[in-house]
Structure 1
Amino acid sequence: MKAEPGPAPTTQPSRTSPLQTVDRALQILASFTPSQHDWGVSELAARFGWDKSTAQRLLASLAARGFLISDPVTRRYSLGPQVWRLAQDWERSGGLAEFAIPTMTELAQASGRDIVFAIPDGAYVRCIAEVSGRLGSVRITPLVGELYPAHAGATSRAYFAFLDRSLRRQMLAGRPKARYGDLTVTDEEELEQLFAATVEDGFAYSNGEYDPATRALAVPVRVGTSIIGSLSLGERKTEQPDDLHGHLPALLAAADKLGERLAGRRFL
């Protein structure tokens, strides 16, 4: 008797689902750091416990879309132009500012002072977010978009002081330096001494260097070991006696929290 045909064999599902592939691609992008700026196929496979063919396919796919670039000589992969474009779009559309606002609001409410988050813009830092405490803003006009020159004020010095000295001097040496008041430092050697003192202290303080009517305390914001901007706490001189230094621990904690969130390690 002729045997009846058995059921058709079922197609075995792929061991890697589309969602798992997406997650692995995101893991790769998130794995780049200042100390890990490129990956080889074998190195990446060992890092995540994947087989080499999986690592190769993922890296090649990301490179084909411009999220990575491959060095034809070393065959190592580093971040590509699409990552830069997305980061620029995010910052310019206000995404970075919105991301910082919750942390800044907590600090403004606790201190009562004006909080500014600034990021580098050539030989300046540019304010991208401001949150005022109960004492109000240090300025009648909005600060968002204001450029703070590298040589004047705590907001800019808290960023530029922590750059590599040779890079900083390359950016600033020989540039005209406007004097905003009697306390503005324009001499390059004296300015380098201020930068060195800021690094030693871990924070910057100004009492009218940039705006003669205000004073400010500022600290760097780090993502990993990279300095990406500054967070400052300011007040008008006419409001009350100078007690900004009492808020330094809270300011440092807020900068750390913001850096952790930007690094993707803390979202709550």
Structure 2
Amino acid sequence: MQSPATPPRDNPLFVNALAKGMEVLRAFTGAGRYLSLTEIATRSGLDKSTAQRMSHTMHQLGYLEKCADTRRYALGRQLLDFSFQYVRTNPLVEVATPHLIELRRECEERVDLSLFDRTTLVYVIRLQSKREKFYTTLVGRRMPVFCSAGGRAMLAKLPEEEALQIVLASTRTPLTPHSITDVDAIMAKIAAARKDGYAMAVQESIVGELTLGAAVLDEDGRPAGAVHIAASLHEWEPEKFAARMLPGLLKTVHVLNQRVQ
């Protein structure tokens, strides 16, 4: 998954040692649970001595755990406190939660809230349905905006040139054989979402899944996040799914957007 943009390091306020510690934590992105010190150094781009000092410090602070038998490191439970505090204090999450619970009750399919993070979105509410793959239900999962319904719906709320620059900055690696990666085709999907007020993605992030998404705006009228409804292609035809789910989706997004007016 594409990581957040790297900040300039020539700023006198930038603390390189802290950045190196964060690189150690980010080394676990997309990896298995445990990493050796050599693997941490390789994945973080740090030399082994620096990786060892940073990993030891993170372990002492509780942000890394260590297997007593193999001496390999894993992310520590202490990190969950940051996720909890972020979600607990995010005003959109607080406002959206009861409305998404009601939407989930009405549609009986998975309902999500994601936050916009330029080339990616991050899920912060995931209300699962009767059947799910394990990783699709986890809060904190990142998805590229170019091939997700919610992502395209959010890009549609930006000026066309800005949306294009975000698409161009994306790696556009296909997640499934059905992912649309051609820039012109993606921009056409975004234009359709701008016209319709919502977007649909069929099997572009998970084979067999279709998703509707609509954007939630901030006080400046820019995309803050998106509400998603996802279901199985084995149970729904795209047209019937949209006809059944769109009224509830658009109603929920309309209510959430009223909060900034």
Q: Please give the range of the TM-score, normalised by the shorter of the 2 chains.
A: 0.5 to 0.7
What secondary structure, in the 3-state scheme, does the structure 2 residue paired with 1:186 have? Answer: coil
- Matched with 2:54 is none
Q: CA RMSD in A?
A: 2.4
Q: Name the counterpart of 1:101.
A: 97
The residue type paired with residue 247 of structure 2 is P
| Aligned amino acid, residue 202 of structure 1 | G
Q: Does 1:110 align with 2:77?
A: no
Deviation at 1:215, TM superposition (A): 0.6
Larger Rg, first or second structure (1 or 2): 1
Shift in CA distance, 182/257, structure 1 to aligned 2, threshold 3 Å: same
For residue 147 of structure 2, give the secondary structure of its aligned residue in structure 1: coil
Q: Name the CA distance, whole Å, in 2 between partners of 1:259 and 1:91.
A: 24
Task: Structure 1 unaligned segments of length 5 or more: list them.
Answer: 1-87
**2:87–2:124: 8 Å Cα contact kept in structure 1?**
no
TM alignment of 1:1-268, pairs within 5 A: 92-96=86-90, 97-132=93-128, 135-136=129-130, 138-141=132-135, 142-173=137-168, 175-224=170-219, 225-242=221-238, 243-245=240-242, 246-261=244-259, 263=260
Mark the CA change 1:200 to 1:138 in structure 2 (over 3 Å): closer, same or farther: farther
Cα distance in structure 2, aligned partners of 1:201 and 1:111: 20
Taking a change above 3 Å as real, the CA distance of residues 124 and 180 of structure 1, as seen in their structure-2 partners, is: same
Superposed displacement of residue 174, structure 1: 5.0
Identity %: 20
Q: Structure 1 residue 90: deviation in Å?
A: 9.8
Distance 1:165 1:90 in 2: 35
Work out the CA distance in 1 between the residues paired with 2:174 and 2:154: 20
Unaligned runs of 5+ in 2: 1-81
SS at match of 2:134: coil
Alpha-carbon deviation of 1:237? Answer: 2.3
2:250 counterpart letter in structure 1: L
Aligned partners of 1:90 and 1:222: how far apart in 2? Answer: 23
Distance (whole Å) between structure 2 residues aligned to residue 228 and residue 90 of structure 1:
19
Q: CA deviation at 1:105?
A: 0.3
Q: TM-score, normalised by structure 1?
A: 0.59
One-letter identity of the residue aligned with 1:182: P
**Contact 1:138-1:214 at 8 Å conserved across structures:** no
Q: 1: distance between equivalents of 2:170 and 2:95?
A: 33
Q: Displacement of 1:222 after TM fit?
A: 2.2
Letter in 2 for 1:124: T
* Cα drift, residue 249 of structure 1: 1.2
